[in-house]
Amino acid sequence: MTEPALKIDPEYHPCRRVYRHDINEMGAFLCKRIKERWVHLQDRQILGWLITCAESNEYFFVRTDRAFLLAQSNRDFLEQYPWVKEVFCFAYYDDVKFDGDGKEAEAYRKEIKESAVFQAASLYEDLIRWAQKICANEIIVDRFTDVPVKDDKDPKNMGTIKGRMGRLFKSEEVFARLDPDKIRKV
């Protein structure tokens, strides 16, 4: 007589929209992470902008218990469909505290970090659903994210952007950078 197979439920991380109280609670973390990339901004500016994003339908601002994702829909006048650009996707694991040191504490921290990155990766599926709902024809990702783009060993790894979104493409953009100090004042 054979034994029944063990049923393993996949991890489920409920996603919810970010509201003002979430920004009040996690504002310090978000400001710290945003200032890593945009160092010229002050906390007050960032918090005001995040509140605006949370209250606007132009932005997709969602979170899980340990992750945040912000994306913006854009529509060029000449284009038929809108497109979506990821602003950031952060995994939150800075608050992990474990009494004691050694291998057990390090293993616990590593487990929490992996879980946070996995939760951040799960938000990309919600981003796809939102983009489909607004009839967008492309999503630009890997702008400022804690989630790896792909895993060379396992292309279907669900802890990566590629694992969550499927097929990804790269494009090249040609641009000129202007030095603001050399711009002639008119």
**What is d(CA 111, CA 46) in angstroms, rounded to the nearest whole number?**
30
Mean pLDDT, range 125-146, rounded to an integer: 95
Mean pLDDT, range 135-139, rounded to an integer: 95
CATH number at residue 140: 3.40.630.30
In which domain, by residue range, is 135 found?
16-165
Which residue would you say has higher pLDDT here, 52 or 5? 52
Mean pLDDT, range 96-116, rounded to an integer: 81
Domain assignment present for 5: no
Query: Is the separation of the CB atoms in 60 and 73 below 8 Å?
Result: yes
Mean pLDDT, range 172-176, rounded to an integer: 88
Domain assignment present for 174: no
136, pLDDT greater than 60: yes
Could you give the percent of the chain with pLDDT greater than 90?
61
pLDDT-derived band at 79, boundaries 50, 70, 90 = very high
| Sign for the pseudo-dihedral over CA of 117, 120, 122, 127 | negative
Domain assignment present for 4: no
Q: Name 38's Cβ contacts closer than 8 Å, sequence gap at least 6.
A: none
pTM of the model: 0.85
Determine the pLDDT at residue 158.
Answer: 84
Average per-residue pLDDT for the chain: 89
For residues 149, 132, 17, 33, the Cα torsion angle rounded to the nearest 10 degrees is 30
First to last CA, the chain: 88
Domain assignment present for 1: no
**What total number of domains does the chain contain?**
1
Tally of CB atoms within 10 A around 98: 13
Encode pLDDT of 24-75 as tens digits: 999 999 999 999 999 999 999 999 999 999 999 999 999 999 999 999 999 9
User: Residue 115 has which token pair?
Assistant: 């879980």
Domain assignment present for 173: no
Q: Measuring CA to CA, which residue among 56, 126, 68, 109 is closest to residue 92?
A: 68
Per DSSP, the three-state class of 74 is: strand
Helices (H), 56-181: 103-133, 161-165
